[in-house]
């Protein structure tokens, strides 16, 4: 089984940073990988999604654009519950992962799975930590440069053109939600992804679910329930180890 660092790097596109990553003293390779698309979901939902939507100004995206603009101003932090359901032709039955998360702005995120086994993922500006084995094993990655390059690529001035270049986007309404179906246009995305489906609350324009259909045949659906918004997040929630 490939190590967790390699899997996360491959899934998130942070390979160059990970190749240069130096593990913290006493930290070994992980034997058990966390939910396969977690880091990808973090990038899409926390780092990129507001930028994608923040530049849309043509129908039928007008309502979505206006709503996301309000949400970005009104909600600067929040915590909630997350459930990932993973399916594959290789699995006899779906795998279900349950946890909780907190986020602050676009550069701090904490996700902790409690079922079926404990996994903690922390992102704070430049650094990504993945902890397993009851807190005894941690992988430390410096991904700040790649995150900033990705954010710059999908910045407010460029996001519409870049997004349309890489994805075909269909927007629709379902009861209580807006649905964005994103199908890759370019080979760089088609190699890894069949489709991404994003659902936003139609009232508050907060993320309700994220579905990632991978070329590998694995589909992960993340369902999100916000439990608090703009509340004080406990000190230390986003503390990370840094490479030495």
Does residue 23 have a pLDDT over 60?
A: no
Q: Where are the domains of the chain?
A: 4-228
Interval 138-181: pLDDT, tens? 999 888 887 777 766 665 555 666 777 888 988 899 999 999 89
Q: Are 44 and 196 spatial neighbours (Cβ–Cβ below 8 Å)? A: yes
Does residue 104 have a pLDDT over 80?
A: yes
Q: Rounded mean pLDDT of 21-38?
A: 41
User: Residue 124 forms beta bridges with which residues?
Assistant: 108, 127
Residue 145's SS3 state is: helix
Measured torsion, CA atoms of residues 195, 196, 201, 206, in degrees rounded to the nearest 10: -170
Does residue 125 have a pLDDT over 50?
A: yes
Residue 236's SS3 state is: coil
* Model confidence, pTM: 0.71
Q: Where are the alpha helices (DSSP H) in 13-143?
A: 15-19, 38-42, 49-54, 62-74
Assigned CATH topology for domain 4-228? outer membrane lipoprotein receptor (LolB), chain A (2.50.20)
**Is 104 exposed, middle or buried, given 0-12, 13-18 or 19+ CB atoms closer than 10 A?**
middle
């Amino acid at each position: 089984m490939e190590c967790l660092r390699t899997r996360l790097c491959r899934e998130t596109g942070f390979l160059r940073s990970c190749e240069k990553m130096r593990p913290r003293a006493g930290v070994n390779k992980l034997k058990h990988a966390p939910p396969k698309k977690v880091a990808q979901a973090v990038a899409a939902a926390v780092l990129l999604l507001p930028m994608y939507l923040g530049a849309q100004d043509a129908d039928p995206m007008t309502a979505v654009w206006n709503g996301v603009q309000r949400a970005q101003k009104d909600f600067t932090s929040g915590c909630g519950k997350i459930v990932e359901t993973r399916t594959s032709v290789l699995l006899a039955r779906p795998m279900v992962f349950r946890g909780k998360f907190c986020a602050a702005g676009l550069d701090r995120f904490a996700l902790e799975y409690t079922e079926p086994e404990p996994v903690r993922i922390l992102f704070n500006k430049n650094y990504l930590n993945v902890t397993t084995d009851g807190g005894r094993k941690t992988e430390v990655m410096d991904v700040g440069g790649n995150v900033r390059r990705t954010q710059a690529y999908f910045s407010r001035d460029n996001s519409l053109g870049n997004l349309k270049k890489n994805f075909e986007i269909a927007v629709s309404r379902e009861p209580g939600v807006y649905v964005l179906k994103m199908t890759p246009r370019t080979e760089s995305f088609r190699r890894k992804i069949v489709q991404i489906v994003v659902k936003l609350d139609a009232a508050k324009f907060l993320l309700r679910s994220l579905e990632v259909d991978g070329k590998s045949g694995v589909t992960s659906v993340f369902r999100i329930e916000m439990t608090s918004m703009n509340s004080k997040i406990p000190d230390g929630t986003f503390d990370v180890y840094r490479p030495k």
